[in-house]
Every structure is written in C-alpha cells, then in structure tokens.
Amino acid sequence: MIERGKIWRAGAILMVVMVLMVLGTPDVGVGAEKTLAARSEADVLTVAVISDLNGRYGSKEYRATVHDAVRFIIDDVRPDLVLTTGDMVAGQRADLDYKGMWHAFHAAVSDPLARANIPFAVTPGNHDASASPAFFRERIHFVNEWMARKPNLRFVDASFYPLYYAFELGPALFISMDATTTGPVDDDQRTWLATLLERHKHKQTKIVFGHVPLYPFARGREHEIMDDPALEALFVQHGVDMMITGHHHAFYPGRRGPLRLVGMACLGSGARRLVGTEEPSDQSVTVLRISKRGIESLEAYKGPGFAGKVERTDLPETLNRGAWRIVRDDLE
C-alpha cells in the first residue's frame, strides 16, 4: 500500500534539501546550450512519454518491450524531450540492491537517450522513491541518481529537483509533481504549485506530470488515486492544459472540462484493464506534439513494434461515474 504523512514529508523535504546542497548542480557545456536553444526555437516540439518500466521486485533486467521502446524513440520519434511518469526501478522493499537496479535502468534507458542527446525528465514513482517513511533510503538513492544526471533544460524552479520541479521548453511549461502516495497533495507542494503557476501564467501550454493519478483509469486500482478536486480546480484556474500520470498501467486520453487527463500504459510488467473493460491495455509510448498554438496531437504507439497507434475508437467513451467521470478527449 502507499500512504501519506504530512509530518514525515516535512522531515523528508528537509533531508532532500541537505542532499541537494551537498551535490550541487552539474555544469552545462556550450554545445549542449546550443542544442537547447535549437529545441526551444523549433516550430513543433515533440515529446515522448514513457511509464512504469519496472519488473518484479529487485529486478535488474528490463523486458524487450522497454529496449524496443527506447530504440523506437531514438530512431523513429526523435523527440526534443522524453518524460517518464515514474516506476523506473522495482523498489519499495527492504534490502534490495538499489544501486544495481539504477545501474540497470541507466544502461537500458538513460544512457541510450543521453548518447542520442535527448533530455530526459523524470518524476518519482512509488517503486522509485515512495514518500512513505519506510522507504526514506530509496528517496535518497533517487535524489543521488538524478542529481548526477540533471538534464540540460531551462529550469524555472529546481529547488526540490528531482522530486518536484519545473522547466520550460519552447512554448511549454512542464511541471513534475512528487505524487508517490495516495490522497490529496500536501500543503507545501500545493502552495508551490499555485505560486509557480501564477508566476508563469503567460506560458501558452502547461503540462503537469506525476505518478499517481487524480482519478481512476484502471480496474483494481480505483482507490489508488489522489482524489483531489481542489488540485484539479487549481489546475483549471491557472490554465493547465494536461496532467499525465502513471501507476495504473493503462492508456487513456481523457478530459474533464478544459483539463486533459492522460493515463499512461506500462512498458514493464503488469498491464491492466481500463475501468469497464476486459482486455489489458497495450504497452505503449505516448507522443505529444506542441506548437505555439498549444497541444497539436497526442498519440500512443503500441508495442512490441510500436508501428501502430492505439485507436481512440477502441477505447471507452467514458471512464467511471459521478465525481470521477472522465470523458475521452475527442468527445468533449
């Protein structure tokens, strides 16, 4: 189970700040800056999103689908940016080889993207860096790993990187949330989000990405959600266009009024069924294209070959009922 504790979180944040102060921020080379400028000035920004790549607890091996997805992203999509919505390693148990697991993840995913000069922006999952007190050491591992691999991006707030932070690329503002536990977001992060969104209200496109979703996408995980209408209202108030989340292992491009909610499929083990359906969701990579006008397209390409799209007409028109109802994004 995943749980939330406000007192614990305050102490955890203080510890993370201390780690960040010790590690500092890596330098950025001139060549990398030129690449960043070129990406920022592109007419259309292409963003690939991956999620839930892990296998069984403690695993240091990645499925062929993960390796195929990385090749597809590098060779075919050629994005300006890759995001992940968490669960990169198979942690959340004591006495696992976290250094070994992260080494395996970097070999399978981070290093190929780095060699292709594609920035990789992460957000923690419950198996990477759960905010539950029992997994404090995992959070320290997570911070250490990603401070050493901080991407070349134009950060507008990296005070709590890599747990939550924000950066801009081209016309878009991207916000990573620390959403590794169920229940409403903590007060400190809510205040941070409100301040950040107010400060960057001029940005044409605003995209939030995190692990645990606002509302259910998958059967069997209906209550592993944030269930936070106040956070949804904050996003709508400040013109957030899209929230992309993992954890439910099922792809769905949804909408609640002006806010698009995208549930990500997994690339690792444990594909799940969307609410109200019988077949497991296809493993897939999601690709966004963003212009100065806003989000131009969102498509999921399904494995193992990633040649075909997930057709919206094959997905339910709606998920859930009542206060949790989500409508497919082409219908509202």
pLDDT classification of 101: cutoffs 50, 70, 90: very high
Fold of 44-328: Purple Acid Phosphatase; chain A, domain 2 (3.60.21)
Q: What is the pLDDT of residues 152-175, one digit of tens each?
A: 999 999 999 999 999 999 999 999
Question: What pLDDT does residue 129 have?
Answer: 87
Q: Give the mean pLDDT of 144-158.
A: 98
Does residue 36 register a pLDDT over 90? Answer: no
Does residue 228 register a pLDDT over 50? Answer: yes
β-strands 81-84, 120-121 pairing: parallel
Q: Is 291 exposed, middle or buried (0-12, 13-18, 19+ CB in 10 A)?
A: middle
Phi then psi for residue 48, to 5 deg, are: -100, 140
Does residue 288 register a pLDDT over 60? Answer: yes
Does residue 7 register a pLDDT over 80? Answer: no
Range with the lowest mean pLDDT among 14-23, 61-70, 188-197, 245-254?
14-23
Pick 91 or 76 by higher pLDDT. Answer: 76
Instruction: For the chain, give every domain's residue range.
Output: 44-328
Q: What is the C-alpha to C-alpha distance for residues 267 and 282, in angstroms, rounded to an integer?
A: 9
Q: Say whether 156 sits in a helix, a strand or coil.
A: strand
- Counting every residue written for the chain, the total comes to 332
Q: Give the mean pLDDT of 103-113.
A: 98
Question: What pLDDT does residue 98 have?
Answer: 92
Q: Which two tokens stand for residue 114?
A: 């780095």
Does residue 34 register a pLDDT over 90? Answer: no
Question: What pLDDT does residue 239 have?
Answer: 98
Going by C-alpha positions, the residue among 306, 329, 309 that lies closest to residue 318 is: 329
Question: What pLDDT does residue 40 have?
Answer: 62
Question: What pLDDT does residue 187 have?
Answer: 97
